[in-house]
Amino acid sequence: MTKNMGISDRIIRTIIAVILGILVITGNIYGTWGIILGAFAIILLLTSAIGWCPLYKPFGISTRKTK
């Protein structure tokens, strides 16, 4: 599994995940949408932590700079 996410992509995903997590935890987003967006936030955090997005692979997308 080669990394396919650049640093800016990872930072943006982390910021979005933190914002969504805060909204879900504080109760601003609740119910079904809260569960869906909470799961989405976890996925964003996991993909940014490992630096690999499975959706980029089939399309051949990479935001990581090559050496």
Q: What is the pLDDT of residues 3-38, one digit of tens each?
A: 999 999 999 999 999 999 999 999 999 999 999 999
Using 50, 70 and 90 to split pLDDT, how confident is the model at 1?
Answer: confident
In a domain, 67, yes or no: no
In a domain, 64, yes or no: no
In a domain, 61, yes or no: no
In a domain, 62, yes or no: no
In a domain, 66, yes or no: no
In a domain, 31, yes or no: yes
Residue 67 has pLDDT above 90, yes or no: no
How far is 38 from 8, CA to CA, in rounded Å? 22
How far is 45 from 13, CA to CA, in rounded Å? 7
| Torsion angle in degrees (nearest 10) through CA of 35, 39, 40, 43 | 180
Residue 52 has pLDDT above 90, yes or no: yes
In a domain, 14, yes or no: yes
What total of structural domains would you count in the chain? 1
pLDDT of 65: 87
- Residue-number span of the structural domain to which 40 is assigned: 7-56
Residue 2 has pLDDT above 90, yes or no: no
- Which of 55, 39, 46 lies closest to 14, judged by CA? 46
